[in-house]
Amino acid sequence: VRIIVAGAGPAGAMAALELAREGADVVLAEKRAWPREKTCGDAISPLGIAEGRECGISIEGCVRLPQALIGVPSGRTFRGKWPQYTPWGTTIARNDFDALLVDAAIRAGATFHPETPVVRLRHEGDALVATVGDRRDSTRDIVVDAAIVADGASGGIASSMGFSKFRSRLVALRGYIDSAVPLDPEYGLFFDRMLAPGYGWIFPMNERRANVGILLDEATLARSRRDLRGLFATWFERSPLYRERFGGSVVSDVRGGIIPSGRRNRAIGRVFLAGDAAGVADPFTAEGIFQAMSSGKLAARSLAQSPDVETARRRYERELAVFDRNERVARAMRATFRFAIDPYARRAEKNAEFAGHLASEVFFLKRSFAGFVWGLTRAW
Ligand SMILES: Cc1cc2nc3c(=O)[nH]c(=O)nc-3n(C[C@H](O)[C@H](O)[C@H](O)COP(=O)(O)OP(=O)(O)OC[C@H]3O[C@@H](n4cnc5c(N)ncnc54)[C@H](O)[C@@H]3O)c2cc1C
């Protein structure tokens, strides 16, 4: 079985790794020179660490962040430890993390081609033809049994193939900053009125350096009549949490990106979408690395373990239902967060166990809104 994977981010690398392990002939084609930078908050959650471990990828040497400091629009803050999965999350520069995954895929037997864009995919009868480019701007056609498209948030392959549009898009901006004081080993997430239901973040890369940024939905950004950089500067100046830690330090390497969520269909014919291309990122937290890894793995297993491509398609859509449920809850949380969070945060300020529960319920996979509320009520 010959399969082409377009894009070597976490979704594509995990897909290639799993396919190679299943014995498929897999070509991992990446548009850019490798390793490549990816604009990101660099945070790998406990879910992402667990997903990597399950596939034999370990990032044990990185900074350990066993808790989150969460600020809510009323100004309350609470700290919550993650009780599940792995007890800590981490941060790691994306070119390093993504290279780890690609190296694992190569070791498993995938053939990796950087600077090789997949220009087009087309069904021809029962076959799929992939047109790929090379460094000399020429192209060639390869006949494959299937393709996993993992070309990220701005990749355009799916849009030319009849896939549905994304239901929502978050916009985010990040930079790096050095701190005058040692940083606490925790994810800092600060929801305030200006950004809610989005947030500003401080994710320590080590004791003195942090990835900082802001995140909000496109509609909130449009209503603010500001550009993202202006909003970031204002947020940074007026947030005491940033001022305390970074004083007059300057944020460097400021870059933005989008995080799309919610596609109705993720497999057509012999083409399967994974990661941001499939819209599986969480539309509340914007976590997308774990979801990319997991969807890449699920797409690969569906293709490799099903007797035919139609069964593989059905299996894949069924397995992605976990992200659809999470998306629905995350959208409901987005709509109610501003008004509903304060009583929970008040409780969390006083009760460490509840704070951990709240942090986990908000940030990890959510199965239903009723279940989310019920879980919190029981922990109260
Ligand atoms: C500012 C910002 C901060 C974020 N912070 C976090 C965070 O802290 N934690 C988290 O979990 N998530 C975060 N996310 C989301 C996360 O970055 C994405 O969800 C994740 O990278 C998706 O992985 P992917 O493999 O689907 O796509 P990508 O990582 O984008 O990889 C896609 C790859 O496909 C390649 N490509 C594109 N077109 C083609 C083509 N035609 N042919 C071949 N290759 C192609 C690209 O060059 C790229 O290498 C953030 C996003 C942004 C924008």
Q: How far is the CA of 38 from the centre of ligand 1 (A)?
A: 6
* Dihedrals phi, psi of 97, to nearest 5 degrees: -65, -50
Mean pLDDT of 144-151: 98
The residue whose CA has the least distance to atom 33 of ligand 1 is 7
Ligand 1 centroid to residue 32 C-alpha, Å: 13
What residues contact residue 351 under an 8 Å CB cut-off, 6+ apart?
A: none
pLDDT of residue 58: 85
Distance 316 CA to ligand 1 centre (A): 21
CB 23: neighbour CB atoms within 10 A?
10
At 8 the pLDDT is 98
Whole-angstrom distance, CA of residue 31 vs CA of residue 370: 43
Convert the pLDDT of each residue in 216-228 to its tens digit.
Answer: 999 888 888 889 9
Q: How confident is the model at residue 164 (pLDDT cuts 50, 70, 90)?
A: very high
pLDDT category, 85, cuts 50, 70, 90? low
Mean pLDDT of 70-75: 91
Ligand 1 atom 17 nearest Cα: 40
Q: Using the atom order of ligand 1, give the atom closest to the CA of residue 255.
A: 1
| Cα–Cα distance for residue pair 249/205, rounded to 1 Å | 16
Whose alpha carbon is nearest atom 16 of ligand 1? 288
Q: Which residue's CA is the nearest one to ligand 1's atom 52?
A: 40
Nearest to 243 by CA among 268, 289, 212, 272: 212
Return d(Cα 93, Cα 59) in angstroms, integer.
12
Site to substitute for ligand 1 among 18, 31, 176, most atoms within 8 A of C-beta: 31
Q: What is the pLDDT of residue 242?
A: 83
Q: Cis before residue 343, ω within 30 degrees of 0? A: no
Is 102 in contact with 28 (CB distance < 8 Å)? yes
| pLDDT per residue as tens digits for the range 285-321 | 999 999 999 999 999 999 999 999 999 999 999 999 9
Q: Tell me what pLDDT residue 361 has.
A: 81
Residues with CB under 6 Å of ligand 1 are: 6-12, 29-32, 36, 38-43, 117-118, 150-153, 155, 157, 172, 174, 213, 257, 259, 275-277, 281, 286-290, 292
Give the Å distance between the CA of 77 and the centre of ligand 1: 30
Query: What is the predicted pLDDT for the residue at 283?
Result: 94
- From the alpha carbon of 276, which atom of ligand 1 is closest? 26
Q: How far is the CA of 94 from the centre of ligand 1 (A)?
A: 9
Q: Where are the alpha helices (DSSP H) in the chain?
A: 10-21, 46-54, 94-108, 218-224, 228-238, 240-246, 289-305, 309-319, 321-350, 352-363, 369-379
Cis peptide, bond prior to residue 260, ω within 30 of zero: no
pLDDT in the model for residue 83: 65
For atom 2 of ligand 1, which residue has the closest CA? 40
Residue to mutate, 30, 205, 284, ligand 1, most ligand atoms under 8 Å from C-beta: 30
DSSP assignment of 203-217, as one string? Answer: EESSSSEEEEEEEEE
In the numeric block, which tokens belong to residue 343?
């009583």
- Residue written as token pair 């937290």: 285
Predicted confidence (pLDDT) per residue in 92-134, tens digit = 999 999 999 999 999 999 999 999 999 999 999 989 999 999 8
Range scoring the smallest mean pLDDT among 11-15, 27-31, 218-222, 367-371? 367-371
